[in-house]
Structure formats: C-alpha cells, structure tokens
C-alpha cells in the first residue's frame, strides 16, 4: 500500500510538470534518472541496515544494534553528501550525456543543483527507514513518508510550478526531502523503535 501511494504521488508530480512544456518534461525525466545515481548507494546501505538491525534485535544485542543503526545512517549521509557534491559540480556534464539539447541540459542541471542540497537529509530518511524496517517499526514511518510526500512536496510543487516552473518543482522536492530527513532523524533518536530496543532488557 505504501509503495502504491508513493507511486501515485510520483504520477501526480508528473502531472504538475506536464503543463510546463516538452523541455521541462524531458529535463525532469532525465534529471530524475541522473539523480538515481546519487541515491542508489543510500538504498544499498539501507538494505544492509535492515539486516543488521533485525539480526541485532533478534540476538538481544541492544547497544550493538543502536550503534549499528547510527553508524549506518552516518555512513549513508556521508556517502550521499559526497555524491551530491559531485552531482552539483558535474550537473551539466551528466545531463549532456542524457540529451544533446542545450535547453534540456540547462534546465536539468539547474534542477540537479537544487536537489543536491537535499541529498544529506534524503540519505538520512532512506537509511533511517531501513533501520525502522529492521526493527519492525513500519506503520508510523510509512505514514510519515506519505504525509510528507502528499502534504509538503505535492502541495508546494503545485504552488511553485506556476511561478518558477521546473525549478520550483525541484525546490519543492528538495524541501520535502529535507523535511522528511529531519522527521526521520527525530524518530531515529527518540521514536518507537528505541522503545523496542529498551524492552529487550540489559543486553549488550
């Protein structure tokens, strides 16, 4: 259900971009493809975090599990920060690999440089979600993601698209990803999965 609703949000986002014209549509699609190179490592680290946290909880290793969770999130943030910097620096070159049209390259590069600022907190949201899945804490994080996507990104994108075009849409995306990252980090340090760890007792 979570994936269906998130996919629906992506469709709505495309509907918001569509009236901006063919250049915007092409730049948006190709920029998303380029950006995927940046966040793929984050999803890999999140998968590892899910496994490590699940095993740690199953073994009753409370302190080790918490340390592995924090280490995984820190690693994800570090890796995606570096990827974000590279994406910002080489945005025109990356876009030129996707399209020979100068207008598309320019729009896509501008979008990628806006998004680059959000990559550290985007990484935090990705890996934190992996931690929560490993701990069996899935319902509230899913609600948080959906609320952020539908309530922040799409609302803001629809508003900014009218005045700032594609750059407004990507500004909304970067704002929402940053907001989601902060919310997920708050849950990582203070949320429900911590109570599950504490209920294990004094395991080390």
The crossing angle, in degrees rounded to 10, of helices 62-89 and 91-98 is 80
**Could you tell me the pTM of the whole model?**
0.90
pLDDT in tens, 14-39: 899 999 999 999 999 999 999 998 89
The residue among 148, 119, 102, 103 whose CA lies nearest residue 34 is 119
The pLDDT value recorded for residue 2 is 72
Task: Tokens for 56, please give them.
Answer: 């740690």
Average pLDDT of each block of 10 consecutive residues along the chain (204 residues)?
80 91 94 92 96 90 91 97 95 95 96 95 96 90 90 94 94 96 93 69 45
The pLDDT value recorded for residue 7 is 83
Are 186 and 195 spatial neighbours (Cβ–Cβ below 8 Å)?
no
Q: Could you tell me the sign of the dihedral formed by the alpha carbons of 133, 138, 141, 142, in that order?
A: positive
The pLDDT value recorded for residue 47 is 96
Q: Could you tell me the sign of the dihedral formed by the alpha carbons of 129, 146, 4, 120, in that order?
A: negative
The pLDDT value recorded for residue 10 is 84
Are 31 and 92 spatial neighbours (Cβ–Cβ below 8 Å)?
no
Exposure pattern of 49-83 as b/e (b: 16+ CB <10 Å)? Answer: bbebbbebbeeebbeebbebbeebbebbbebbbeb
The pLDDT value recorded for residue 1 is 76
The pLDDT value recorded for residue 201 is 47
The pLDDT value recorded for residue 198 is 66
The residue among 124, 167, 164 whose CA lies nearest residue 144 is 124
The pLDDT value recorded for residue 113 is 96
Task: Tokens for 96, please give them.
Answer: 């030129």
């Amino acid at each position: 259900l979570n994936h269906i609703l998130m996919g629906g949000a992506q469709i709505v986002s495309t509907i918001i971009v569509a009236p901006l014209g063919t250049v915007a549509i092409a730049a948006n699609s190709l920029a998303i493809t380029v950006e995927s190179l940046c966040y793929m490592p984050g999803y890999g680290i999140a998968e590892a975090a899910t496994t490590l946290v699940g095993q740690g909880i199953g073994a009753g290793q409370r302190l080790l599990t918490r340390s592995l969770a924090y280490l995984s999130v820190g690693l994800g943030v570090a890796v995606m920060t570096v990827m974000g910097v590279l994406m910002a620096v080489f945005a025109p070159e990356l876009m030129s690999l996707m399209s020979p049209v100068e207008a598309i390259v320019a729009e896509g590069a501008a979008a990628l440089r806006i998004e680059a600022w959000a990559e550290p907190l985007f990484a935090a949201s990705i890996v934190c979600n992996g931690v929560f899945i490993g701990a069996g804490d899935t319902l509230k994080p899913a609600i948080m993601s959906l609320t952020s996507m539908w309530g922040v990104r799409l609302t803001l994108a629809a508003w900014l698209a009218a005045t700032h075009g594609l750059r407004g849409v990507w500004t909304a995306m970067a704002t929402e990803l940053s907001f989601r990252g902060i919310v997920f980090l708050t849950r990582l340090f203070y949320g429900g999965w911590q109570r599950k760890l504490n209920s294990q007792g004094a395991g080390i």
